[in-house]
Structure 1
Amino acid sequence: MGDMSSLPLVLLHAYPLDARMWDSVRAPLSERTRLITPDQRGLGRTPLPEGGTAAPSLDHAARDVVALLDRLELDKVVVGGSSMGGYVAMALLRLAPERIGGLAFIGTKATADTPEARENRLNVARRAETEGTAGWLADEMLPTLLGETTRRRRPEVVERVREIVDGQPPAGVAWAQRAMAARPDSTDVLRTVDVPTVVVAGEEDAVMPPEVLRDLADTVPNAELVVVPEAGHLIPLEAPEPVVDAVSRVLG
């Protein structure tokens, strides 16, 4: 099982997917440490809380992670987040920095949405609630979720992502979009990070191009930037080995 003195690793998935996006990195990372991959509220197998009237906020998603750590009796973990999972990791930094012993930010950014991006998210949320998610959501997102090389050469990855996106509950998709639209800028909290941090960019990422990740890496003290060639936005699905290598560097 490798050296279990390293901290457990919590991986937080991207929107609009669930923890299955980590399947290709599970075995190698599990050899290095204890691996925990929750589905975030409303997505995958985790339902939205009953009668939740609170405004959607990634702070709730961060509280879910703290509650999970409490249940598992884990004081401190390394947290890795892909895209929306990275935003949840930033919310966790604001909420409970003492629980974080290392960070891996994958295809994510520090800044809040522009007004245009926010409006787009709210439109998608409304459409998910009225039409469901099957079909259109995957069609709309696949060209930006996966890099050009993956779309050209790896139809099985394209189909896997389509299958995962198509199966997401509309209410969870809407909640996640509204929560992301409401997220604050995280630049200030990222400047206070004092744990080992790696930032992973996909060279072909149309959503979060490498320069966006470079900005993030420049914000976090002593963060290391890794740019993965021939990968788009969902780097763990497109290029598992470089992700395993990068995350392993902050496991301690």
Structure 2
Amino acid sequence: MPDEILLRPHLGGFAYRCRVVPCPGQPVLDPVLFIGGAFQDMYAWQRHAAVLAPHATVVTVDLPGWGGAEPLPPSYGVDFLARAAGLAMERAGFARWNLVGASYGALIGHRLVQLRPRSVVRAAFSGIAGTPSAAEIATLRACAELLRDGRPARFAEEVTAHLMCTDTARPVRRREAVRRVLFSQLAGAAPQARRKMLGNLQRLWATRLFHPGPPPDVPTLVFTGEHDTVTPPAAGRRFAAGYPRGVFVTVREADHVVHLERDREYSELLLAHFRGEQAAQLPFCRPYVPSAAA
């Protein structure tokens, strides 16, 4: 991959990081910005960047409160974080870009599209369903308590079980390997990283996640694993329906952490969407058909 460029923007007194991986040749797509979930940093997308970089410059960020950025109080919500992401793209010299938001990063991405609809060419959100349910907030509060109590291994165990489909009757690619990787990363996180994870969890119930106003008319793909139990397909479909040009699909044999279980397919799905192709026609995707219970 070509040499990366590291930028260090500031917003509201908080320093953060932006990683730019230039396309080695003439890019055929607008730059692609990745905004990751509550427990990811800007290096979590290296495998995906390797697939996309021959077609477009790839940008990943450690927004305030993430990875190598400065800690951010939980009172700062998605509005501030979306503005930080937009500023990072400005500093990188990009006026228009494609956007990828995963899980919590999809909430930030949704707000970014609202704030800068003329900057976002196409958007793709994985693992988004809207405002977390009371049951999910209760689970996340319990996980936060484990971090506060200095029990990282138990925290990692609970979060991994929450994020992944534990029903072994439902086929999930690389389930056990991904479970081990997730557990290891969470349990082995440094104390400063754990404090940032705690802040990101607290932000989910301390701030407003969605702002009023209709979603802009931006071509938007919403997707998740077909066995996602965190942001279920029915909820993702409803979210996509709120976009004038929203499309929803599920990825076969995957759950909420589809970016790990099927990382190659995840990247190919993004490429298809950013090229303007029909994502539902890819062999590893299927249009979601709601059951009678949904």
**Short-chain TM bin:** 0.7 to 0.9
Q: Could you say what secondary structure the match of 1:68 adopts?
A: helix
Deviations 1:137-185 (A, max 9, x none): 220021232345448x443322222233231622211211122224546
Deviations 1:3-41 (A, max 9, x none): 614211111112223234323322111122111111333
2:194 aligned with 1:170, yes or no? yes
Task: State the AA in 2 paired with 1:214.
Answer: R
* Structure (1 or 2) with the greater strand fraction: 2
For structure 2, list consecutive stretches of 5 or more residues without a partner in the other structure.
Answer: 1-23, 276-294
Q: What displacement does 1:42 show?
A: 2.6
Distance 1:163-1:19 versus aligned 2 partners, 3 A rule: farther
Give me the whole-angstrom Cα distance separating, in 1, the residues matched to 2:147 and 2:79. 22
- 143, 146, 164: which one aligns with 1:124: 143
Give me the whole-angstrom Cα distance separating, in 2, the residues matched to 1:204 and 1:238. 12
Counterpart of 1:108?
Answer: 128
The more displaced of 94-103 and 197-206 is 94-103
Give me the whole-angstrom Cα distance separating, in 1, the residues matched to 2:70 and 2:208. 25
For structure 1, list consecutive stretches of 5 or more residues without a partner in the other structure.
Answer: none
The more displaced of 60-69 and 224-233 is 60-69
Q: What displacement does 1:244 show?
A: 1.7
- Does the 8 A contact of 1:24 with 1:237 survive in 2? no
Q: What displacement does 1:70 show?
A: 2.0
For normalisation by structure 1, the TM-score amounts to: 0.85
- Does the 8 A contact of 2:42 with 2:60 survive in 1? yes
2:90 aligned with 1:66, yes or no? no
The more displaced of 215-224 and 54-63 is 54-63
Q: Could you say what secondary structure the match of 1:19 adopts?
A: coil
Q: Within 5 A, what are the aligned runs for 1:153-164?
A: 153-164=174-185
Q: What displacement does 1:131 show?
A: 1.5
Distance 1:226-1:115 versus aligned 2 partners, 3 A rule: closer
Larger Rg: 1 or 2? 2
What fraction of aligned residue pairs are identical, expressed as a percent? 22
* Structure (1 or 2) with the greater helix fraction: 1
Q: Within 5 A, what are the aligned runs for 1:1-252?
A: 1=24, 4-49=27-72, 55-109=75-129, 111-131=130-150, 134-147=152-165, 148=168, 149-150=171-172, 153-166=174-187, 167=189, 169-184=193-208, 186=210, 189=213, 191-252=214-275
Task: State the AA in 2 paired with 1:243.
Answer: Y
Alignment RMSD, CA only? Answer: 2.5
Give me the whole-angstrom Cα distance separating, in 2, the residues matched to 1:129 and 1:233. 25
Q: What displacement does 1:206 show?
A: 1.1
For normalisation by structure 2, the TM-score amounts to: 0.74
Count how many residue pairs are aligned between Structure 1 and Structure 2. 245
Task: State the AA in 1 paired with 2:255.
Answer: G
- Does the 8 A contact of 1:199 with 1:226 survive in 2? yes
- Does the 8 A contact of 1:199 with 1:223 survive in 2? yes
